[in-house]
Amino acid sequence: MKSQTAEVELPPQSRRPFGVYAIVGLLMMGVVAAVLEILRVQTRLFGIWQTADEILREYSGPTDLAAYLFTDPTLIIIANVAIILFWFLLIVGLWRMQRWAWLMVMLFTGANLIFTLFRYFNDDPDYLSMLINVAVTFYLNDRNVQRAYARPKVAATRVSP
């Protein structure tokens, strides 16, 4: 009796951890919040767009911080354009599995946690943002995610005398 071996092709292993898609999605929601905030300052939003702006602004961290810090419409627009550019930079870096993007997201998440704690102690708690920021922090510190974003090891070359 002859034995036959079955060869099964497995799909290629993805280097990008699943949670990166979720983090990129959250950052894209932040971009939408910043765009809606720019539109709110320049024109009058109504209906679903006004509701979406209010909800997303409250939960997006930097967009809410810009509205909290500035009253001048021009400064709000400039701050939100800077936020959009920063988030796009992070999105591209995370998508390309760059270590600097991982570090920047960790710093950004820490800053957001500080802002949500500030709001908490000023009797304006935002528990959902706190939960999301803590979850992102724990996820990015997971061993598999750390390994995916690790710097490539350079092979040591030995020089003979």
What is the residue extent of each domain of the chain? 18-143
Structure tokens at 138: 């724990």
Residue 11: pLDDT band by 50, 70, 90 thresholds?
very low
Q: What whole-number distance in Å separates Cα of residue 128 and Cα of residue 110?
A: 15
pLDDT of residue 24: 92
Element of type H or E holding 57? helix 48-59
Mean pLDDT of 49-72: 73
pLDDT for the residue 10: 45
| pTM of the predicted structure, to 2 decimals | 0.72
Structure tokens at 38: 């720019």
Q: How confident is the model at residue 1 (pLDDT cuts 50, 70, 90)?
A: low
